[in-house]
Structure 1
Amino acid sequence: MAASNFAQEMHAVGERLLFKLQRLPQAEPVEIVAFSAIILFIAAILVLLMITCSCYCCGGCCPGPRGRKSQVQPMAPR
C-alpha cells in the first residue's frame, strides 16, 4: 500500500515538474531565475553526494589503510 502511494506521489511530482517546464518559456523573469536556482541547488547537492560516496567507497581521500589505534592509559596520581 505504501509503495503505491509513493509511486502515485512521484508521478504527481513528475507531472507538476513537466507542467512547469512547459510553461517556462512564457514565465516571468523572476520565475525563471527561481526555477534555475532550485535546479542548480539540486545539481550541487547531487554532485556533493557523488563526491562523498566516491571518497567513502573507493578510499580516494585516504592515502592508505590506517594503522591500529592504541588505547590511552590513565596516568598514575603523583
Structure 2
Amino acid sequence: QISEIKGLQAADRRRQTVISELLRMDHRRSKETSESRTALQGQITALQGQVTALQAYVATLQGQQGLAGDPTLPELPEEAGGSA
C-alpha cells in the first residue's frame, strides 16, 4: 500500500509539473497575443492616417480638375504686366 501511495504521489507531481508548464505556455502566448494586438492597432492607426491623407489629396485633385475642365466657369484673367 505504501508503494502504491508513493507511486500515486509521483504521478501527481508529474501532473502538477505538466500543468505548471502548460500555464507558463498559456501566459507566454497570451502576452504575445496582446503585444501583437497592440502592434496591429498601431499599424491600423497609421494606415487610417494615410487613407485620410490620400482622400484629402484625391479631393484636391478632383477640385483642380473640376476647375480646369468646367466650361461654365469664366476664364481666369491673364496676369498683369502682359501685353495689353
Higher relative contact order (CA 8 A, sep 6+): 1
Q: Same fold (TM over 0.5)?
A: no
Rg larger for: 2
Q: Which is helix-richer, 1 or 2?
A: 2
Q: TM-score of the superposition, structure 2-length normalised?
A: 0.39
